[in-house]
Amino acid sequence: MEFLEFLGNRADDLLEMGLAHAAIVGAAVLIATVIGVALGIATYRTERPREFVLAITGTFLTIPSFALFILLLGPLGLGWPPVLFALVLYGLLPVVRNTITGLREVDPAVIESAQGMGLNRRQRLLRIELPLAWPVVITGVRVTTLVLLGIAAIGAVVNGPGYGEMIFTGLARVGTPVAVNMVLAGTLGVIVLAVLFDLIFYTVQRLTTSRGIR
């Protein structure tokens, strides 16, 4: 009951933080998707570059977020720039990996028939391979979004936007009743965003998947 009261009192704050959290994650996902899909398309055919790109983007994901935010503090300062930059780096791997998986799993027979019908390399990619790989690609984007929502909360250590601020303020007040409310509200906020984003992706996936393979 007390928690609901808290949510009521802080509704404006919570909504504003939610919008900021969604905005920075949304922007990071968009950038990571553009770069990731491009890297995937550029490298999926040749083994060396493909493994190189996967190794590099995998390395980004290994670096602990707290450490990366601090390292970006020098070059990018406080606020959203270091958070956005770090989120893009973290978001690349799932997108690149799923783009490569998706494109490589297209049946060679299908590609051969496309070739036989006279489609050139570009037409094959745009009209055959990408549409067939699309569901896998978009699943990568969806997973990236979920992971980034969680990491964005840690962005509060460099004054990043979003629910992280609520969680860290709660921690600073440990021992007081309001602390539990703040941390719960911040966590719940992130989970609500996760469900909302997932629903959006489900819809986007349905709408953008070629009708033949739905």
Nearest distance in Å: CB 206, other proteins:
7
Question: In terms of CB distance, is 88 or 153 closer to other proteins?
Answer: 153
Tokens 């989970």 appear where? 191
Amino acid at site 15 = L
* List of residues contacting other proteins (CB under 8 A): 47, 51, 54-55, 58-59, 61-68, 70-71, 73-74, 93-94, 97-98, 101, 135-136, 139-140, 142-144, 146-147, 149-154, 157, 163-164, 167-168, 170-171, 173-175, 179-180, 183-184, 186-187, 190-191, 193-195, 198-199, 202, 205-206, 209, 213-214
CA 18, chain centre distance (Å): 16
Helices (H), the chain: 2-9, 11-43, 47-62, 65-76, 80-104, 108-116, 121-123, 130-154, 164-172, 177-208
Give the residue with the Cβ less far from other proteins, 117 or 196.
196
Residue whose CB is less far from other proteins, 5 or 51: 51
CB closer to other proteins, 84 vs 93: 93
The owner of tokens 């550029």 is 42
Question: Nearest approach, Cβ of 118 to other proteins (angstroms)?
Answer: 27
From 87, 59, 57, 82, select the one nearest 72 (Cα to Cα): 82
